[in-house]
Amino acid sequence: MKLSIVILSYNTKHLTLVCLKSIISQYRPELEKKELEIIVVDNASSDGSLREISVLKSQVSNLIIIQNKENVGFGRGCNLGAKNAKGKYILFLNSDTSVLDKGFLSMAEFLDKNPNVGILGGKLMNDDSSVQRSCGKFYSLFNLALMLLGFERLGFLRSSPDRIQKVDWVSGACMMVRSDIFRKLSGFDEKLFMYIEDMEICFRAEKLGFSTYFYPNLILRHKSLGSGNRAFAIINIYKGILYFYKKHKTNLEYLVAKTLLTVKAKVLILVGFLTFNQDLRDRYRKAIA
């Protein structure tokens, strides 16, 4: 089998069904020939997702459903899907995406021809066809300072190149990994519930000598924060960055990173007080708790 597509689902019934139907529409011949499989890992959804996906499964060959009894997070859920994958390559795909061409096959062909590339990220677009910056630079202390000052939103750290090129890390919303390398890396770090796990696994892959590349030649729409919310994202990004530094950097670098994050959070907590914004205050208090 060439490719296993792993999709994590958590209370995103409509989005997940749209995603699955878009894959089936583009890849039905490959699914029927068992060249491709879809693995949906449901993290104990309470919105009827499992029932609706099961109906779809009865109509499509090579659609596998794995049901968790609790929400185990992104990394652990994806790892479970990967353990059941038979493909030479594993594509981790967000449930809030829509597939509009057969670009995943081109990504697999690129990996066939470039054995030094361990991880390949795909181009993501908004509904209005504008691009999302879905690859970036590792958060060194300098880059972390730029991010906290807001420069990441201006394209200083993240980008969406027009050509295939080597990058530091790619978004987990569309990340293709060689299955043997994924297992050698022991998958995503399950201590990261959600966010930063994509950068972290690319960092570990590079340490083992495997490059990460960005691949722009596909059409994939992605609803930003379609399966989450801003407060949840900020809290988990802060905690994820601190975990990344504690795991991979020196004690001094960790302390500097923690100081930078704390200063930024306290400034925004003060802004929340001055503007009577309780949500802003609560969000950043939890981020540094």
Residue where a domain terminates, one of 196, 228, 260: 228
- Do both 149 and 282 map to the same domain? no
| pLDDT at position 107 over 60 | yes
Task: Kindly tell me if the per-residue pLDDT of 139 is higher than 90.
Answer: yes
The owner of tokens 């080597």 is 166
The answer on 117 and 17 residing in a single domain is yes
Determine phi and psi for 286, rounding to 5 degrees: -70, -35
Is pLDDT of 229 > 80? no
Does pLDDT of 25 surpass 70? yes
Average pLDDT, the chain: 94
Question: What is the reported pLDDT for 85?
Answer: 97
Residue closest to 287 by CA, chosen among 250, 260, 254: 260
pLDDT value at position 58? 84
Amino acid at 247: K
Q: What is the pTM of this model?
A: 0.94
Give yes or no: residues 188 and 236 share one domain: no
What pLDDT is attached to residue 228?
55
Q: Do 122 and 208 belong to one domain?
A: yes
What's the distance, CA 138 to chain centroid?
15
Same domain, 200 and 238: no
d(CA 220, CA 103): 9
**Residue 230 pLDDT:** 81
Q: Are residues 205 and 261 in the same domain?
A: no
Which domain does 263 fall in, by range?
A: 231-287
Q: Tell me the average pLDDT across 250-270.
A: 97
Distance CA 44, CA 52 (A): 14
Tell me: do 177 and 274 sit in the same domain: no
Please indicate, yes or no, whether residues 178 and 54 belong to a single structural domain of this protein.
yes
Check whether 227 has a pLDDT greater than 60: no
**Does residue 240 sit in the same domain as residue 223?**
no
Query: Same domain for 155 and 49?
Result: yes
pLDDT at residue 61, as a whole number: 81
Q: What is the CATH number of the domain that holds 56?
A: 3.90.550.10
**Can you give the length of the chain in residues?**
289
Whether residues 45 and 85 share a domain: the answer is: yes
- Only one residue has tokens 């590079």, namely 206
Domain end (from 228, 244, 270): 228
Query: Based on the domain organization, do 54 and 157 belong to the same domain?
Result: yes
Structural domain count, the chain = 2
Mean pLDDT value of segment 219-245: 86
Residue 225 has a pLDDT of 56
Position 231 confidence tier, pLDDT thresholds 50, 70, 90: confident
Supply the pLDDT for residue 155: 83
